[in-house]
Each structure stands twice: as structure tokens, then as C-alpha cells.
């Protein structure tokens, strides 16, 4: 029972990271247009860039996210089924009934990362003095 609860906690954490990466870009662009100064924050922007950068590097090196690995390990310990693919791939297939080879997800992560870099250039972060 505790393993299953811990696996669910890791799942929620992982979902939060995905939401931060995807929603962060939306907030940056929307926030700049609406004059939200906090979206220019150096640490917010650096954390956002680092998060997508980590995802891209993992993907390019063919590695599974450590959160996916941890959640799967906990699920197996709790007598549940582990993922057969990456976190995003698993949930996209499950929620959208869409199957694609791993390279499609690598390309999508890379394209999204390029959008984050473009947002960094177009809407640069500001350091507060």
C-alpha cells in the first residue's frame, strides 16, 4: 500500500513538472503580452529553460525520465504494472489513444525546446537589482 501511494505522489509530481514546462511557456508569452512582470523573473525563466533542456537531453540520449523510473519501480513494489514507455508517451497514448515511435516524442520535445529558446530571445528575462 505505501508503495502505491508513493507512486501516485511521484505521478502527481511528474504531472506538475510537465505542467510547469508546457504551461510555463504559455504563461511567458501571455504574461509578456499582458504586462505580468513576474514572467520576466530570472529564476523562473532559468528553471523553465533547465527543465525543458533536461527533457531534451534525456530524449536525445534515449534515457527514461528518473521520475518515470522511480514511479515504475514503486508500482512494481506495490504489485502494480510499470510503464512500458516514457511518462509522456504512456499518458499521451492512454489519454489520446495515439501511438507513435519514440523519435516522434524526441522531435516534439526538441521543437518545444526551440520554442522556449525563441521565447527566451524574444522575451528576455530580467534580473532584478
- Mean pLDDT, the chain, whole residue set: 85
Nearest in space to 89 (alpha carbons), one of 115, 75, 107: 107
What lies within 8 Å, CB to CB, of 27 at 6+ separation is: 36, 39
> What is the percent of the chain where pLDDT is above 70?
84
Q: Identify the band that residue 119 occupies on the pLDDT scale cut at 50, 70 and 90.
A: very high
Query: What is the pLDDT averaged over residues 102-119?
Result: 91
Residue 79, pLDDT score: 80
Q: What is the CA radius of gyration of the chain?
A: 17
pLDDT of 16 > 80? The answer is yes
Domain locations along the chain: 2-122
pLDDT of 45 > 50? The answer is yes
pTM value surpassing 0.85: no
pLDDT of 91 > 80? The answer is no
> What is the percent of the chain where pLDDT is above 90?
49
Name all contacts of 94-99 with Cβ < 8 Å and 24+ positions apart: none
pLDDT in tens, 69-80: 898 898 888 887
Amino acid at each position: 500500500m505505501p508503495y502505491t501511494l508513493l507512486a501516485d505522489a511521484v505521478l502527481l509530481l511528474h504531472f506538475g513538472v510537465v505542467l510547469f514546462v508546457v504551461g510555463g511557456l504559455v504563461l511567458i508569452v501571455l504574461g509578456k503580452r499582458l504586462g505580468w512582470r513576474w514572467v520576466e523573473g530570472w529564476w523562473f525563466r532559468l528553471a523553465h529553460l533547465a527543465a525543458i533542456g533536461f527533457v531534451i537531453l534525456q530524449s536525445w540520449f534515449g534515457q527514461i525520465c528518473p521520475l518515470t523510473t522511480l514511479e515504475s519501480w514503486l508500482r512494481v513494489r506495490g504489485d502494480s504494472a510499470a510503464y512500458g514507455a516514457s511518462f509522456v508517451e504512456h499518458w499521451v497514448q492512454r489519454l489520446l489513444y495515439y501511438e507513435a515511435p519514440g523519435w516522434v516524442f524526441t522531435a516534439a520535445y526538441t521543437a518545444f525546446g526551440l520554442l522556449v529558446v525563441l521565447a527566451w530571445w524574444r522575451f528576455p528575462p530580467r534580473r532584478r537589482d
